[in-house]
Amino acid sequence: MKNNQTRFSPRIADNLFDLFNVKGRTALVTGAASGIGKRIGAVLVAAGGDVYFGDIDEKGAHAAAQEANAIGTGRARHVQLDVTDPGSVKTVFDRISKEAEGVEILVCSAGVSKATWIEHMTLDMWNKVLDVNLTGTFLCCQEAARSMVPRRWGRMINIASIAATHAPKPKRFDGGYNYSASKAGVIGMTKRLAVELAPHNIAVNCISPGIMETPLTQKALTEEETLKQVLDSVPMRRVGQPRDLDGLVVFLCSESSGFLTGQDILVDGGYSVW
């Protein structure tokens, strides 16, 4: 077997930077009216993507798309999307197929949390969180696969959570059994999808943020004791911000991540290893 050495082109720098953009790609981001989803949508627009901001809050999605259009080189549009409703999901994907020939990048960021002690958690509370966080991700991935398989290219990024694998140390976050279960399910589903869609050149990965300042955590993080417990649990001694995902998102959505699939990537300031 010959020992083939890599030959570097004089234009390697240009080729490298070309890898890290999504110019001309059509993306759908769910939960894009606020928090992590809103930030991801804006980042993909800045990287040259044609991005649909999807959310059940249509007014919020519209406002987020307008903000992104003011800063990006791509284009942002909004759609009303209820990820728990198969009809709503299909309608959105059908619209994107007509307007932009289908979804090439899917980021599932829609999520809710309803926490309480186990003896007080109702079945409705359990089901609501599983419906949005897990079933909603499944429905969107299902439609995305139908769009991506024929074109033999695609990127799916599912937003999971550190809570899928670690019980949060701050006591303020106790009781999120449904949330942890839903995010663990997202990771498991992602790994299976990655294997089964790989022959079609579709990469499927998870991002699991640590404790980040988002609408879901903002109130808790204003409490002095909760914030102290968080900072004591994070080696980097700060709370995460949605912007901490920017580079990873572009990488996972671009050509540069073509041989990376089935991974759960933790972005947590060291929380999970301490």
Tens of pLDDT, residue by residue over 124-166, are 999 999 999 999 999 999 999 999 999 999 999 999 999 999 9
Residue 24 has pLDDT above 90, yes or no: yes
* Sign of CA pseudo-dihedral 213, 215, 220, 223: positive
Residue 112 has pLDDT above 70, yes or no: yes
Which range, of 14-18, 74-78, 128-132, 148-152, averages the lowest pLDDT?
14-18
**Cα gap 22→47, rounded to integer Å:** 6
Q: Find the catalytic residue in 52, 177, 179, 271.
A: 179
User: In the structure, what pLDDT confidence band is assigned to residue 74 with cuts at 50, 70 and 90?
Assistant: very high
**pLDDT tens digits for range 182-193:** 999 999 999 999
pTM of the model: 0.93
What pLDDT is recorded for position 172?
85
Q: What is the DSSP string of 99-167?
A: HHSS-SEEEE---------GGG--HHHHHHHHIIIIIHHHHHHHHHHHHHHHHT-EEEEEE--GGGTS-
- Model confidence at 121: pLDDT above 50: yes
* Domain 21-265 in CATH 3.40.50.720: yes
What is the domain partition of the chain in residue ranges? 21-265
Let me know if 179 is a catalytic residue. yes
Q: What percentage of the chain has pLDDT greater than the value 70?
A: 95
Confidence class for position 53, pLDDT limits 50, 70, 90: very high
What local confidence, expressed as pLDDT, does residue 1 receive?
46
